[in-house]
Structure 1
Amino acid sequence: MSEQPHYRRPGWFTRNVANRLVAGLTSLGISVMGSRVLEVRGRKSGLPRQVPVNLLSLDGSEYLVSARGNGEWVRNVRAADGALVLLLGKRRQPRVATEVPDVDKVPILRAYLKRWKAEVGAFFDGVSADSTDEQIAAIAAKHPVFLLAPAA
């Protein structure tokens, strides 16, 4: 039996209240702590799919981190060869996402946890921004990270 990819499905409140509230504010041009709406082509339907995400800016680069693991948006970004759009209000920012190897994730995950631990800490198995590099590296494979670049 093969091991299932790590993913923690959002609960009712997250799906029906929190995500809708953040997406609604973001669509009005109000970013909640760096929030954006990620738009990516669905890998099965081919239709645009939207989900609110936390955009992490670190050392002049932008990253998307999946706190919940290999969820729908992660699989759609992979299937779309990294092509996505970040939305904030009426602004559309085409981006190309490149997946970051596990060995390079520690400083990115540390910064992500420092910024959003209260919101996403439950998905990191007790690891926090104050954890050792080894502890963060041990959970890195469970959390896809994408480096974003402007689309050509």
Structure 2
Amino acid sequence: MLDAEGATMTHYQKPGWITKNVFNRLLMLLTRVGLSVRGSRVLYVRGRKSGAWRSNPVNLLNWRDGRYLVAPRGETEWVRNLRVAGGGELALGSKRTPFVARELTDAEKPELLRAYLKLWSMETGMFFDNVKHDAPDEEIARIAPRHPVFAVSDA
């Protein structure tokens, strides 16, 4: 997507009040006490300006031989912070595991997005233009640039 000057615009769907103050807090609480909701984790990443730890609930996708973080809402603050920090920590209960991250190219994303949508389309499908896991390859490729994806590995 391009703006009026022809520059690429970033895609971001800001969470509403209920999502931010009810659902995300509940998911973080459950995950912090050790209850993973379909792969949920708490992501800790240093702020790119402050250096302070920031936390967000995320869905950790275990796919094939790797682990991945997908940003359904697009260019979120955690995405921007992770790009600068290059890694962070993923927590389930009291266990925090350090990781390093590598952002995937758009060409690397389609199969992975398909796997993500198969697991979480009920929760996050609206952020993917309601594209489903069984959509044609062209549809998955069309949405790929709007959703950053990171491969995570132990630090």
Aligned residue for 1:4, secondary structure, equals: coil
- Pick one of 134, 142, 145 that aligns with 1:141: 145
TM-fit CA distance, 1:60: 1.7
| Structure 1 position 100 matched with structure 2 position 104 | yes
Question: Runs of 4+ in structure 1 displaced over 6 angstroms?
Answer: none
- Pick one of 110, 115, 121 that aligns with 2:114: 110
- Pick one of 26, 38, 56 that aligns with 1:21: 26
Distance 1:107 1:137 in 2: 9
- Pick one of 59, 67, 71 that aligns with 2:72: 67
TM-fit CA distance, 1:127: 1.0
- Pick one of 131, 135, 143 that aligns with 1:131: 135
Comparing 1-10 with 139-148, greater Cα deviation is found at 1-10
Q: Report the residue type matching 1:34 in the other structure.
A: G
Q: Report the residue type matching 1:6 in the other structure.
A: H
Aligned residue for 1:6, secondary structure, equals: coil
Q: Report the residue type matching 2:37 in the other structure.
A: V
TM-fit CA distance, 1:118: 0.4
Distance 2:113 2:58 in 1: 15
TM-score, structure 1 normalization = 0.96
Structure-1 residue corresponding to 2:51: 46
Identity of aligned residues (%): 55
TM-score, structure 2 normalization = 0.94
How large is the Cα RMSD of the aligned pairs? 0.8
Unaligned runs of at least 5 residues, structure 2: none
Unaligned runs of at least 5 residues, structure 1: none
TM-fit CA distance, 1:133: 1.1
Distance 1:15 1:4 in 2: 24
